[in-house]
Structure 1
Amino acid sequence: MISSITDFIAGLPKAELHVHHVGSASPRIVAELAARHPTAGVPADVEKLAEYFTFSDFAHFIQVYLSVVDLIRDADDVRTLTYEVARDMTAQNIRYAELTITPYSSVNRGIPAEAFLEAIEDARLAAESELGIVLRWCFDIPGEAGLPSAEETARIATTLTPEGLISFGLGGPEIGVPRGQFAPYFDQARAIGLHSVPHAGETTGPETIWDSIRLLGAERIGHGTSATRDPELLRYLAEHQIALEVSPTSNLATRAVGSLAEHPLPDLVKAGVLVTINSDDPPMFSTDLNREYGIAADLLGLDEAGIGALAKNAVTASFAPDTVKADVLHEIDTYLADCAH
C-alpha cells in the first residue's frame, strides 16, 4: 500500500539522462576522497560539505565543482566513485542512467586515458551484474577549458571508444562559450554514431539552444529552460521531439531561476515539449532524483499516473538499447498497475 506521493516516487522504476559523474559523488565519498587528497582544499568533514556546496552563482558552482574534480587523482578513485554513484542510484530505483563523464578533466590531471576508461568500464559491468543497474556514458567537453579540451575529448571518444559510450556532450559555463566553435568535434563524434546532447539554454537564451540544434546536431538538450522565451523554438522542439533534460533544483541552485515557483517546467509541458526530469549534480544541490520528481509533480499538479508518464518520458528519450527500454517501460507499467489496486 502506497501511503503518499513521496513513497510512490521512491518505489517507481526510473531512468535518468542528465547526471554528472563527479557531481554525483555523495558527501561520504567526497569526504573520503578529500581525506586522501587534502591539498585539493575540499572539506573532509561531511557536515562542512553542506556549507561548501552553497553557491553564490553559476561561476562559483563551476569553481567548487572543479575542486571536487581535483579529488579524482588515480584509476582507483575513478572506479570507487563510479561504482558508488551506481549504488546510490540503485537505492532510488533508477534502472538505467546515462552518466555524463568528463574524461579530459581527469586525463589532464595525469590519469592515463586508457586507465580511466578501464576503471569506468569495470565499474559499469560490476554495477550491472551486482546491482542490476544499466549505465551508459556521455563524454562531454568542459566548455571552460576551450578547444584543446574538445580535441582531446573527441580523440578519446573516437579512438578509444569504450563499450558503454553512447553520446557526446558539452558542459560547463554557457556565457562566453559559443556552441558553434565545437561543431567539428561533434561532427567527429556523430560520424562514429554517438548521439549529440549538449548543455544549452540554462544561463543563456534561446539562441544557444538553436545553435546547439543547427550547429551541433543536438538530439536532446541539457537544461534548455530558456526555450520558453521563443515560441518558434518551443514549436520546433515539440514537433521534432527533441527532449529537454530538466533539473529544477539545479536551476535554482545555480540561480538560473529565481524560485521554483518561477520555473518554466509547466510552460514547457504545456507547449508539448518532451520533458525529462533529472538531478544534474545531486549531492552538491542537496537533492536526488526522487526529490526532483516530487518537485515536478508539484509544479505540474500530477497524480500517480502523471508521474508514471513523466518517468516513461525519460525511457523514451534515452539512448538505451531497445531491450532495456522495453524492460524498464514494462517495470513502470507493472508498478502503476500494482499501485492502482
Structure 2
Amino acid sequence: MSDAERTGIGVLGAADIAWRRTVPALLRCPRLRLVAVASRTPDKARTFAERFGCEAVTGYERLLEREDIQAVYIPLPNALHEQWADAALRAGKHVLVEKSLTASAAAAADLARTAQERGLAFMENFAFLHHTQHERVRELIADGAIGTPRVLTASFGIPRADGALIRYSRELAGGALRETGCYPVRAAQLFLGADIEVLGARLRYEEADGCDMAGSVLLADGAGVTAQCDFGLDHAYRNTYAVWGSEGRIEVEWAFTPPPDKRPQVCLRRGDHTEQWTLPAADQFLRAVSAFAEACADPAARASHAVDAVRQASLLESVLELAGTPEAPARNRLGRAGTRSTHVPG
C-alpha cells in the first residue's frame, strides 16, 4: 500500500499510553501513516517525534489545520477528550480517542452526531475488546458450554502510585471509575444485552481532594443477566472477569491488559470438570488501531463504534448519579437508574 493510500494520522498529546502502546501499534498498521505529534510543550513534541520518526508540532490547533492529516488519536487527560474530539471532528478528521471519552451521555451523543453528519469515524479506544481471547469466550457461550449465562463478574484494580499522576486528579477527570472502572463496565456491554442499565453504584472518595479511589457497580439487561463490576486505584493488582451460567463458569485471568506476547488462558469449569486453553498471543493495540483504520476507510464499519461510545458514556453517567459525589452523596445508592432518552445516531 502506497503512502497516498494510507490514512495520515496525527497524535494530540505526548501521553504515556501513546508512547508505550498506541503509537508503536500505529506504526505497525499498514493502513495508517504517522505524520505528526502535537504538544503544548515544544520539547515534548520533539522528543516524541524523534522517537517515532514523525514531525513535531507545537499546539493542537496547528496539527488539526494540516491537510496531510486525515485522522487524529487523542490520548489527552480525560477532562480534555470532549473538547478536542469535537475540534478534530469539526476540522474534518476521523477520531480515535482514549478511554474514558466522557461521563456525559449528551456530550457523547453530540460527538457521535457530528461524526455522522460529516461522514467521519469516531471510536473510543478500548483496546481489550479486540483481543481474540474474548472471541473464544463468546464462542464457548454460544456453544452452550455454561448453559444460560446468569452473571458476569469483572474486576480491575491497581496499586497506588505517585499521587502526582493525572489518574489522581479530579480536575482532569481522573479517578477509579474513569481509569479502571470503565473496563469492567465496558466488558458488561460486551456480554450483556443492548438494553443494559445501572441498578446500583458505590464510589469511595479520597477525603483530601475528592478523587474516587474505588467503586462497585451492579448492572443488568432486560433478560435479567447481571454484571458485578469492582475496581480501584489502591488495590492489589487484579485484572479478570468470569461469566457464570446455569451449567458452568468461564474465567479469564488477564482480561484487560495482556501484553502482545502474552498467551492468555481461558478456563471452563462445569461441575467437577475443569478444562483450560492457552490461546495464541494477540496484539490488542494493533488490532484496535487496525479496526479504526478500517472505520476510516469504510463507512459501514463506523456506526457501531459511535453507538458503543454513547452507551458507555450513559452508563458512566448513571454510575455517578447513583453513587453521588463528596459534595452531594447519593441518598439511595441502590436505586434504579432512570430511563435515558439520549438518541444514538445510527
TM class by smaller structure: 0.3 to 0.5
Report the structure number with the largest CA radius of gyration.
2
Q: Which has the higher strand share?
A: 2
When normalised by structure 1's length, the TM-score is 0.33
When normalised by structure 2's length, the TM-score is 0.32
